[in-house]
Amino acid sequence: MGELIANFGTGQVPMVAYLGVSLIMFFSGVYGFLTRKSLLMILVAVELMLNAVDINFVVFNRFLFPGQFEGFFFALFTIAIAACETAVAIAIIINIYRNINSVQVGELDEMKE
Amino acid sequence: MANQIIFYVLATIIAIFSVLAVTSNKIIRSALYLLFVLLSTAGLYLLLGYPYLFGVQIAVYAGGVMVLFIFAIFLTNKPGDKVDKERPIRRIVAAITAFTGLAFCGHIIYYNVARVFTTVIAEETKIQVIGRTLMGTEKYQYLLPFEVISILLLACIVGSIMIARKR
């Protein structure tokens, strides 16, 4: 905390602050993943976790290897894969809703009629 | 100084709305809070000097994924539905898990990352450099993952249509 206050006048945001933000985001995603019962809400929590990981990739790239692009492209590809995953997951959720008329995880107790 | 103020505003928005997104009672509000979190994340990318990632985040996440979410919510929920909560004992266990992880990772980050702290002036990455890196085949260039992602997107489109079509 002392370093944060000491750095406040210098005009640069320390790396710890960025990592702290993504940490809060990731663990609120973990909490949501464990407590929510609707499939869509679980997907929202997963999106939060993926987004936190993207921030971490970019921050490590910027602060530790500023001349390279590995973290940048990992974040880019992670965003693309997350979009794919969301599309397939929502297709599956809509199919489930059509079959059992609900998207609650507690009522999903059979795979095929 | 200005980017510090912007950063702390964005960080506050992200922290508050990411907690609200997983605790809110209405499902549509939860999606809306997620949208705020994604937009603030795009702001963080801009602050770090990656304007291209800012654009991708806005277009793909805040545009595409959120539209999918909102359509799915409208297709599967009646308006005004409350979200069912898990049993209290499970919520307490989940909260303990999340706080333990938060404390553990926070301790590691705080006591180790501060050692390697370096001040970097965030200069903007040129879009030409990004294009050459994305399209090259040499070392540290990313043509193969780019093509694999395009095949993955195609497989994903076909898969979604196959799964969600009417029989």
Question: Complex ipTM, two decimals?
Answer: 0.88
Of the options 1.20.120.1200, 3.50.50.60, 3.40.50.2300, 1.25.40.10, the CATH number for the domain spanning B2-125: 1.20.120.1200
pTM for the model stands at 0.89
pLDDT per residue rounded down to tens, chain A (113 residues): 555 555 555 667 788 888 999 999 999 999 999 998 888 899 999 999 999 999 999 998 888 888 788 888 999 999 999 999 999 999 999 988 888 888 888 888 877 65
| B-proximal residues of A, 41-80, CB under 8 Å | 41, 43-45, 47-48, 51, 54-55, 58-59, 62-64, 66, 68-70, 72-73, 75-77, 79-80
Please, what are the domains in chain A? 2-105 (1.10.287.3510)
Rounded to the nearest angstrom, the minimum Cα separation between B62 and chain A is: 11
Helices and strands of chain A, counted as H and E runs: 4, 0
Question: Which two three-digit tokens encode residue B135?
Answer: 């399209």
Q: Are B119 and B62 in contact (CB under 8 A)?
A: no
The answer to whether the Cβ–Cβ distance between B133 and A73 falls below 8 Å is yes
Question: Which two three-digit tokens encode residue B114?
Answer: 């501060």
* Domain coordinates in residue numbering, chain B: 2-125, 126-167
The answer to whether the Cβ–Cβ distance between A88 and B86 falls below 8 Å is no
The answer to whether the Cβ–Cβ distance between B56 and A76 falls below 8 Å is yes
